[in-house]
Amino acid sequence: MQSIQNSYPKSLVKNHTLLCNVDEEKIRILKNKKVESGIIRITPDLSGIDIYNKPTQQLRMIQQEVNVYTYRTLPNALSFYGHYDIADIHILDMFKDVVFI
C-alpha cells in the first residue's frame, strides 16, 4: 500500500474488514484466541568443540517462557531452539534488553 502512495501521492488507500452475521463464529474466534505456552531456548553451539578440554568454561543458556496466540489446538508444547557461537558469549547479554510479553 505504501508503494501505491509513493507512486501516486494524491491517492487514498483504505482497507476494511467486513463481517456479517454468518461470520459470528469467526468473530468469536478472533475475540477468544487460544494461548499456548511455549519455551525459547538459546544454547551454545558445541559442534566441533572438545568440551572435555574446557572443563572450567561456564556454558550459559537462555530459557524463556512465552505465550503463543493461535487459532488451533496444538498437540505438543511449543519449543523454539537457537544456538550461539561459544566464542561470542556476550551475545546472551543482548537478550537482557528483550521484553517478552
Residues 18-52 have pLDDT tens digits of: 666 767 877 777 777 778 888 889 888 888 777 77
Query: Alpha-carbon distance 65 to 39, whole Å?
Result: 4
- Residue 5 is predicted with a pLDDT of 73
Whether residue 24 lies inside any domain: the answer is no
Whether residue 65 lies inside any domain: the answer is yes
Whether residue 2 lies inside any domain: the answer is no
Whether residue 29 lies inside any domain: the answer is no
- Residue 57 is predicted with a pLDDT of 67
- Residue 101 is predicted with a pLDDT of 62
Q: What's the whole-number mean pLDDT along residues 76-88?
A: 83
Strand partners, 67: 37
Whether residue 12 lies inside any domain: the answer is no
At residue 16, does pLDDT exceed 70?
no
Structural domain range at position 41: 36-101
Average pLDDT taken over every residue of the chain: 77
Whether residue 96 lies inside any domain: the answer is yes
Whether residue 9 lies inside any domain: the answer is no
Whether residue 82 lies inside any domain: the answer is yes
Q: Which three cell numbers stand for residue 64?
A: 524463556
Query: Alpha-carbon distance 45 to 41, whole Å?
Result: 12
- Residue 61 is predicted with a pLDDT of 85
How many domains are there within the chain? 1
Q: What's the whole-number mean pLDDT along residues 51-64?
A: 76
At residue 4, does pLDDT exceed 80?
no
Query: Alpha-carbon distance 101 to 95, whole Å?
Result: 14
At residue 17, does pLDDT exceed 70?
no
